[in-house]
Amino acid sequence: MGHAPLIFADRLLQPFYFFVKWIKCILPKKVKETNQYYVIKFFGLGSLTRIAYVIKNSAVDKNKVTFITLKSNKPIVEELQLNAIYIRSANPLYFIADYFKTIFHVWKQKGVHVLDMERSSNFSGIFRVILAIRKPSSGFYFKAMNKRIGNQSFISLMDKPAIDSIVEMFGEDKLKMAKGEVQITYSNQVIINVNAGAYLPQRMYPLSKYAALVAKLHTEFPAWTFLLTGAKSEVSRVEGFINQLEKEGVDAENIHNLSGQQSLSDLLVTIQKVDLVITNDSGPIHFANYFGAKTVGIWGPTSAEMVGYSNSETMLNLISNEDCSPCFINPKSKVAKACAGKLTCFHKHDTEQMVGKIKDFIESSSKKSNIDPH
């Protein structure tokens, strides 16, 4: 199921959210020194990983942060070694029971700051207000400036990377993003991810373009082995991609299909071992960034700049600079409306130029780490 029905249902809650937000403004408030954070984040493995990345590279004590998230996110939460309270969503009765159990748990805690990191959800906003009765809370919103009303803070997502907004959510006075040295290894193994979740399938780089890119990389770097990743639900797409690779002349011995065979834990281990990850915008790009893996991101309707991933020794962002890109600004954006669904931002990518940039990216890092890119 796509995200449209969920967005429609969430919009119905907007009047109630405005009401409870106003009620919170007039309630007596207790503002004490924060000694623990409760982070509301229901959806998005990549988003959870971005938040974990901020915590990992900051002065925040991870033991003082507890995520409130769906039970389906348990695998990634455990891999990132985060504290969490889980809400079961498969059964409405379980959902309601966990919902109220979580509320009563947070109410009992002292020194709590509730952080709502769902980007534009009325449901999570209502949940935040209820959790944070007589406690400070923060949430994202799409206006130019941050603002504060009573003990509620609203952090702008406009004209800044999402990572910066996450930092501000915790408090810039407490966070100093650290940039440690990344250890570069070389094994001639390159992850290729052609998938993206059902939430925004328009993020997937077209298979024909992707196959042409990998074929040219195969010619440039004949020793590379391409590891194709994907969940069980993505096996068919990956197999179709392999067919296109073979038509482009990529040797079968240089293709290793891991789709449907790896657990999340297996994938994260693989990301940490390979020399390079090439992916469109989806979970693996955030996992790779979290672990400091060398990564090539292919961007179209979404934006590396908006996420907060700038070009560096470990990140190369490939963008086509179309006037209409990015067109996914927030969960309610009309994606690919300007191009009538043709995703010209992807099709305008020049494969030769992409290969050249990747080659420069690899060789630049190789000189600094004394590895052989060929």
Domain that holds residue 276: 189-369
Q: What is the pLDDT of residue 115?
A: 95
Q: Is 176 contained in some domain?
A: no
Residue 211 and residue 143 in one domain: no
User: Could you report the per-residue pLDDT of 54-79, keeping only the tens digit for each?
Assistant: 898 888 889 999 999 999 999 999 99
Spatial strand order of the sheet with 255-257 comes to: 255-257, 225-228, 189-193, 276-280, 295-298, 315-318
Nearest to 256 by CA among 214, 306, 285: 214
Is residue 93 scored above 60 in pLDDT? Answer: yes
- Higher-confidence residue: 225 or 5? 225
Q: Indicate the number of domains in the chain.
A: 2
State how far the Cα of 316 lies from the Cα of 191, in Å rounded to an integer: 15
Local structure of residue 231 (DSSP, 8 states)? -
| Least confident segment among 135-149, 231-245, 280-294 | 135-149
User: Could you report the per-residue pLDDT of 305-355, keeping only the tens digit for each?
Assistant: 999 999 999 999 999 888 888 999 887 788 988 899 899 999 999 999 999
Q: Is 145 contained in some domain?
A: yes
| Least confident segment among 170-174, 227-231, 239-243, 329-333 | 170-174
Measured between alpha carbons, how far is residue 228 from residues 5, 234, 354 in Å? 32, 11, 19
Q: Is 259 contained in some domain?
A: yes
Residue 142 and residue 211 in one domain: no
Residue 166 and residue 230 in one domain: no
Q: Which two three-digit tokens encode residue 372?
A: 């052989």
Q: Which two three-digit tokens encode residue 304?
A: 């590396």
Measured from the Cβ of residue 291, the count of other Cβ atoms closer than 10 Å reads 19
Amino acid at 349: H
Residue 261 and residue 344 in one domain: yes
Q: What is the pLDDT of residue 104?
A: 92
Residue 70 and residue 107 in one domain: yes
Nearest to 369 by CA among 181, 180, 178: 181
Residue 166 and residue 276 in one domain: no
Q: Which of 117, 139, 170 is the last residue of a domain?
A: 170
Beta partners for residue 47, in sequence order: none
Give the pLDDT mean for 21-35.
Answer: 58
Q: Is 374 contained in some domain?
A: no
The CATH code of the domain that includes 130 is 3.40.50.2000
For the entire predicted model, the pTM comes to: 0.81
Residue 77 and residue 216 in one domain: no
Residue 231 and residue 310 in one domain: yes
Residue 216 and residue 321 in one domain: yes
Residue 219 and residue 315 in one domain: yes
Q: Which of 170, 202, 236 is the last residue of a domain?
A: 170
Q: Is 182 contained in some domain?
A: no
Any idea how long the chain is? 374
Residue 218 and residue 359 in one domain: yes
Residue 164 and residue 199 in one domain: no
Average pLDDT score, the chain: 85
| Least confident segment among 72-81, 143-152, 241-250, 258-267 | 143-152
Give the pLDDT mean for 230-234.
Answer: 94
CB–CB of 300/346 below 8 Å? yes
CB–CB of 109/87 below 8 Å? no
Q: What is the pLDDT of residue 186?
A: 42
Give the pLDDT mean for 93-107.
Answer: 93
Q: Which of 113, 136, 170 is the last residue of a domain?
A: 170
Q: Is 102 contained in some domain?
A: yes
Q: What is the pLDDT of residue 182?
A: 35
